[in-house]
Structure 1
Amino acid sequence: MSVPVYTVLVLLVGVERLAETAVSARNARWAFARGGVESGRGHYPFMVLLHTWLLVGCLAEVWLGDRPFVPALGWTMLALVLVCQGVRWWCIAALGPRWNTRVIVVPGLPLVTSGPYRALRHPNYLVVVVEGAALPLVHSAWITAAAFTVANAALLTVRLRAERRALRWAVAVPA
């Protein structure tokens, strides 16, 4: 895969992130209209910055670091990136208007246990972890993959704590 083709791939992932942002904004309006409460606002700007940095890091490392495309690694990682996109939108579909990039819960609603949530408690976070390593490695951007993975692990620790607290509270509050 050439560097320009990889650049298009990263830009397409960026467009996908913009689509997520639009869905998230619509779903936030839905949740707030039904008494939704946001938790964990403090980590959200860092999350946006980290995910933006992932895309910039992919391009910068490949363009400036002259990273090669290693077919066995690159094609495997590309397949993982594509699978991640499918699973991410499966998560979005399963949660419906409750899906959000922010931690917003509507009191009294039961946990979703359909779609990928049947098998995993946090499938979307698994997608983020896999994609965060796979997207840079499509074109051997190993520094970006490693740095994102470490920073994302710290972020997910904070985010999962906030989400668990919010969900415990929301399930306990009658609708």
Structure 2
Amino acid sequence: MIFGIVLSIVILQRLVELFIAKRNEKWMKDQGAFEAGASHYPLMVGMHVLFFIVFIIEVSFFDRQLSPIWQILLAIFLLAQLLRVWCLASLGKFWNTKIIVLPDADVIRRGPYKWIRHPNYVIVATEILVLPLLFGAFLTAVLFSILNIWMMSIRIPAEEKALKKATNYTDEFSLNK
């Protein structure tokens, strides 16, 4: 029962985020923004959809149980959700699931972005590991953590290249700051 509740909340959260991303994309493109890295985006979406499918199958088919350390894992997961909201709020209309860049915009250096370049990706990696472990889905945790590392090895360079080309990203993240 708890699995269904948690899973429903997370899926609902993701759907709300997609709505926010679509709204932000429209606003940014109306301001002259462009999309970068579009070729890998369907792979990333597919990976995230497949994550939920494999997660559900592993928990259901193998009758996985709540972890003995579920309180710790749930606390980590809930903290990640708070940090996710902080990331979204810090980026405001600039937050998106796609790489949408507004030329000549100043990069955001507030919230968690004040200390780390890609905090949302750290949060996603944490979720991909912790959520399955919460319910004993070890195979899902390992497989999709590896796939996420691969995806981030494509996505982060594409995002940084676009930001360096069109914004003050290089100046903001120079080693002399």
* TM-score of the superposed pair, with normalisation by structure 1: 0.93
* Cα shift at 1:54: 1.6
- Once residues 154 and 70 of structure 1 are traced to their aligned partners in structure 2, the CA distance between those partners, rounded to angstroms, is 27
Say if 2:67 and 2:133, in contact at 8 Å, map to a contact too. no
Deviation of 1:71 (Å): 2.4
Q: Report deviation, 1:25.
A: 0.2
Name the structure 1 match of 2:149.
153
1: CA distance, partners of 2:139 / 2:14:
22
Question: Residue 26 in 1 paired to residue 23 in 2?
Answer: yes
**Contact 1:36–1:106 (CA<8 Å) still a contact in 2?**
yes
Identity of aligned residues (%): 36
Letter in 2 for 1:43: H
- AA in 1 matched with 2:86: W
The aligned residue for residue 11 of structure 2 is 14
Look up the match of 2:161.
165
What's the CA shift string for 1:70-119, capped at 9, x where partnerless? 222x2211111111111111101000100000000000011111001111
Q: Which residue of 2 aligns with 1:52?
A: 49
The answer for unaligned runs of 5 or more in structure 1 is none
Q: Is the 8 A contact 1:94 1:114 kept in 2?
A: yes
Unmatched 5+ residue regions in structure 2? 169-177
Which 4+ stretches in 1 moved above 4 angstroms?
none
Which secondary structure does the structure 1 equivalent of 2:64 belong to? Answer: coil
- Give 1:45-124 correspondences, 5 Å limit: 45-72=42-69, 74-124=70-120
Aligned equivalents of 1:15, 1:27: Cα separation in 2: 18
Q: CA deviation at 1:68?
A: 2.1
Displacement after TM superposition at 1:52 (Å): 1.2
**What is the CA–CA distance in structure 1 between the aligned matches of 2:5 and 2:134, rounded to whole Å?**
12
Question: Contact conserved, 1:58 with 1:135, CA < 8 A, in 2?
Answer: no
Normalising by the residue count of structure 2, what TM-score does the alignment of the two structures yield?
0.92
In the TM superposition, what is the alpha-carbon distance from 1:59 to its structure 2 partner?
1.5
Cα RMSD for the two superposed structures? 1.0
| Count of residue correspondences | 168
Q: Which has the higher helix share?
A: 1
SS in 1 for 2:135: coil
